[in-house]
Amino acid sequence: MAGKKTPNTAHILLMSHSPAESWRRGEQLEAVGWHVVQAADSVAALSAAKGQRVDLALLHLPVDDMVAMDLPNVLRSVCPAEYLPVIILADNPAEQHRCRFLDSGADDVISLSTSADEAVARIRAMLRIKRLHDQLATSRLALEESLDRERRLMGKLRRENDHLQILVTTDPLTRVQNRRSLLDLLEHEFKIARRYGQSLSLLCLDVDHFKVVNDSHGHPSGDYVLKELAVILTRAVRDSDVVARTGGEEFCVLLPKAGREQAAQFAERIRTEICNRKFIVHGETIHVTASLGAATWPADAEITEPEMLYYFGDQALLVAKESGRDRVVAACELDPAVRNRLRRQYEAAPAAPEEPIPCPSALEPI
């Protein structure tokens, strides 16, 4: 008596050119509880494998039919299942015939004389292998979906990290580097310059009487001037140079591989362009000038570390402002006694506390 079929009942495709053998084998398989899909020829078998659920194919083939040798692989190519085991049922096949079937893609070969119990046992063994294949395919699919989700998440995290990096290192008003980023880049470039014996220069710039611009024209106009100044600085230097806003109206330009003379040329070019530029805001013309200080390693012998390059450039800037503004002063132009005093003051000053990294959501224009 046929066993009770459940949703997990195996579906066996049975193909036989013999109606009597097809009926007999079908009875045996259904008695175990399997669902049998009958096919009278290879065309019907291919149609069933393509359009119905098939867990295993049992094909009754003549041993001398060479065309039928390719049938197992053709069935697998049209079957939507990940793996379709195929057992060949042959009329007492000799060893050479069994080997030919196996080499052609069959998973097992049984003869008509094989007992029903052994045939069922072999089918059960192939179905166990089939279940393992299906479980592996399901696990692989789940893993691929998990990896795909992880890749999408990593891509999103990279984009968010890049955005956060921009927020942390960029001045939000002018879109150039901020002071923290400049100091990090200064330390990096100083190490490179010292390792390869290259020059490194730094320009410190301050807009003269910028408070007058804000008081006379309003802060939005002052912000416009600052943004245009950042554009002037960026266009005046090389792609390898770094422009940073380090204070309200203060900027710095880091010049890798630039000695004193080249730094002086850059500084004078910047000063001239700012002086000649007319900033027009809401029909009003705003004119500003800038003072610049320059320092160079290793030409300025007092400088022995990155922060000292910034310190000497800033001190040269103060001298430029005190001596009339709208000019460039290099650290080497300072009196030797003044440079020695500045070096001693720098060395005696306590180390600055580590600045906390600001929360990106709380970043405000400098």
Q: H helices of 279-335, where?
A: 306-322
Give CA–CA dist 34/79, Å, rounded: 19
User: Cβ–Cβ contacts within 10 Å for residue 50, how many?
Assistant: 13
> CA distances (Å), 105 to each of 84, 316, 334, in order?
11, 85, 90
Task: Kindly give the confidence (pLDDT) of every residue in the chain, 366 residues in length, as a single tens digit, with 9 standing for 90 and above.
Answer: 444 444 468 999 999 888 888 898 899 999 999 999 999 888 999 999 998 899 999 998 877 766 667 888 899 899 988 899 999 988 877 888 888 888 888 999 998 888 899 999 999 999 999 999 989 988 998 999 999 999 998 998 888 888 887 878 899 999 999 999 999 999 999 999 999 999 999 999 999 999 999 999 999 999 999 999 999 999 999 999 999 999 999 999 999 999 999 999 999 999 999 999 999 988 889 999 999 999 999 999 899 999 999 999 999 999 999 999 999 999 999 999 999 999 999 988 776 555 544 444 333 433
- Note whether 88 and 111 are within 8 A (CB): no
| Residue 152 structure tokens | 């999408």
Q: 150, 160, 249, 347: which is the annotated catalytic residue?
A: 249
| Burial of residue 39, with CB atoms counted within 10 A of its CB: 0-12 exposed, 13-18 middle, 19 or more buried | buried
CA 134 to chain centre: 33
Could you give all domains of the chain from N- to C-terminal order, each with its CATH number?
A: 11-139 (3.40.50.2300), 171-351 (3.30.70.270)
Among this protein's residues, is 302 annotated catalytic?
no
